[in-house]
Homo-oligomer: A and B are copies of this chain.
Amino acid sequence: MKKLINKPENVVREALEAIAIAHADLVKVSYDPNYIMRADGPIMGKVGVISGGGSGHEPMHGGFVGMGMLDAACPGAVFTSPTPDQMLEATKAVNGGAGVLHIVKNYTGDIMNFEMAAELARAEGIEVEAVVTDDDVAVKDSLYTAGRRGVGVTVLAEKLCGAAAEQKRSLKEVADMCRKAKNFGRSMGMALTSCTVPHAGKPTFDLPEDEMEIGIGIHGEPGRTRMALKSADEITEMLMEPILSDIPYKTGDEVLMFVNGLGGTPLIELYIIYRKAQEIAAKHGIKVVRSLVGPYMTSLEMAGTSITLLKMDDDMLKLWDAPVKTPALRWGA
On A, residues with C-beta under 8 Å from B are 2-6, 11-12, 14-15, 17-19, 21-23, 55-56, 58-59, 63, 192-193, 209, 212, 229, 231-233, 235, 263-275, 278, 288, 291, 293, 295, 298, 300-301, 303-305, 325, 330-333
Contacts and interface: CB of A to CB of B under 8 A. Distances in A.
Contacts of A288: 21
**Total copies of this chain within the assembly:** 2
Contact of A295 (B233, B295, B330, B332): B295
Q: Helix, strand, loop or mixed for chain A's interface?
A: mixed
B58 A268 contact: yes
Contacts of A305: 4
Which one of A14, A23, A59, A305 has the highest number of Cβ atoms from chain B below 10 Å of its Cβ? A14
B301 A303 contact: yes
Contacts of A229: 2
Given A15-B272, A22-B293, A231 B301 contact: no
A157 to B, nearest CB: 21
Contact of A55 (B6, B18, B233, B268): B268
Given A2-B303, A268-B11, A305-B4, A21 B291 contact: yes
A14 B231 contact: no
B275 A5 contact: no
